[in-house]
Amino acid sequence: MGALQKTAIVIPCFNEYNRLRREQFVAYAHGHEDVKFIFVNDGSSDRTQEILDDLCRSNPQNMACISLEENRGKAEAVRRGVIKARETNHRYIGYWDADLATPLDSIPHFVEILDKLPSIGIVLGSRVRLLGRRIDRKPARHYLGRIFSTATSLILRLPVYDTQCGSKLFRNSDELSYVFSSPFRTTWVFDVEILARFTIMARSGRIPPLTEFAVEHPLDEWTDVSGSKLKTGDFIFACFDLIRIWIFLYVSNRPSGQPPAGIG
């Protein structure tokens, strides 16, 4: 790919001044010239823009910043970042949480899967507690997450363990552009809506079934970073979003192959 970077990672940021791991981003970018970080400031009211400007000035080749004038939510911040990444010829495009609950050192593992398996288009980080893995989650959120994941698997008809982990990587393709072409309508579970949009394409034959197109990668390390904006009570709102996704998939009767206008 010549001088072009292989991978673009979108980092959605909302009031991350005290949580953004600046030194880790700087160190990783200097040691991995094939990775570009695209930070999206989602209308932050603190000094997030200031530190993002400093980061991008420190390494303009590997870091870029988009600023949204008002807070639009993580889903829209990620979508804008993916659209920006699509403007250049990156082979892979993904997104990562700004607090680095998933360490940046995990990125090469995601890339390796897409390199070795050309039929795969999606790699999902999965927080599976296994021997030899360091997965630190608060018990309440873990058990609520298991209930949510079970419901998600039933709605998507897909044996997925963890849709809500904030680390994902996609093969850059027309299908990816299709999925991110319009705003997401679900506020809390846009990760599930992404899979629902890919499911619509699989029905039309544009891509293989998601059981053959997506891979879950069990993370070696994940830490429940303090200060998360997601609260336990948000689980209720997430359940309503799941109902909307079910309607989108099985009730709205969207013609196969029609670009996703979002979930009404």
pLDDT of residue 142: 82
* Amino acid letter, residue 12: P
DSSP 8-state symbol, 254: P
Ranking 9-23, 24-38, 84-98, 227-241 by mean pLDDT, the lowest is: 227-241
In this predicted structure, the answer to whether residue 254 has a pLDDT above a threshold of 70 is no
Mean pLDDT of 160-184: 95
Tell me the CA distances in angstroms from 165 to 5, 17, 173, one per residue in order: 25, 22, 22
* Residue 65 near residue 53, CB atoms below 8 Å: yes
pLDDT at position 251:
78
Question: What gap in Å lies between CA 179 and CA 176, rounded to an integer?
Answer: 5
Q: Which two tokens stand for residue 220?
A: 């070696």
Q: Which residues pair with 64 in a beta bridge?
A: 38
pLDDT at residue 236, rounded to an integer: 82
CA dist 222 and 217 (Å) reads: 12
| Amino acid at site 175 | E
Buried b (16+ CB within 10 A) or exposed e, 227-240: eeeeeeeebeebee
pLDDT digits (tens, 9 = 90+) for 205-236: 999 999 999 999 999 999 988 766 666 567 78
112 vs 166: CA distance, rounded Å: 19
Mean pLDDT of 13-25: 94
Does the pLDDT at position 252 exceed 70?
no
- Rounded to the nearest integer, the mean pLDDT of the chain is 90
Tokens matching residue 257:
């192959």
Task: State whether residue 235 is helix, strand or coil.
Answer: helix
Neighbours of 114 (CB within 10 A): 22
What is the model's pLDDT at position 51? 96
**Which residue matches tokens 């001088």?**
3
200 membership: H or E segment, kind and range: helix 190-204
- Do 120 and 213 contact (CB within 8 A), yes or no? yes
Residue ranges per structural domain of the chain: 1-100, 103-258
Asked if residue 140 has pLDDT above 90, the reply is: no
Contact assessment for residue 30 and residue 116, using Cβ atoms and an 8 Å cutoff: no
Measured CA to CA, the distance from residue 210 to residue 56 in angstroms comes to 36
- For residues 50 and 24, give the distance between their C-alpha atoms in angstroms, rounded to a whole number: 17
pLDDT tier at 138, thresholds 50, 70, 90: confident
Give 250's pLDDT tier (boundaries 50, 70, 90). confident
Segment 93-135, tens digit of pLDDT: 999 999 999 999 999 999 999 999 999 999 999 999 999 999 9
The CA distance from 25 to 35, in Å, is 11
Position 176 pLDDT exceeds 70: yes
Task: Give how far Cα 155 sits from Cα of 113, 180, 215, Å.
Answer: 26, 21, 18
pTM (two decimals): 0.91
Q: Which two tokens stand for residue 205?
A: 């034959």
DSSP percent split of the chain into helix, strand, coil, nearest 5: 40, 20, 40
Residue 124, pLDDT score = 98
Arch. (CATH architecture) of 1-100: Alpha-Beta Complex (3.90)
Average confidence (pLDDT) over 236-245: 89
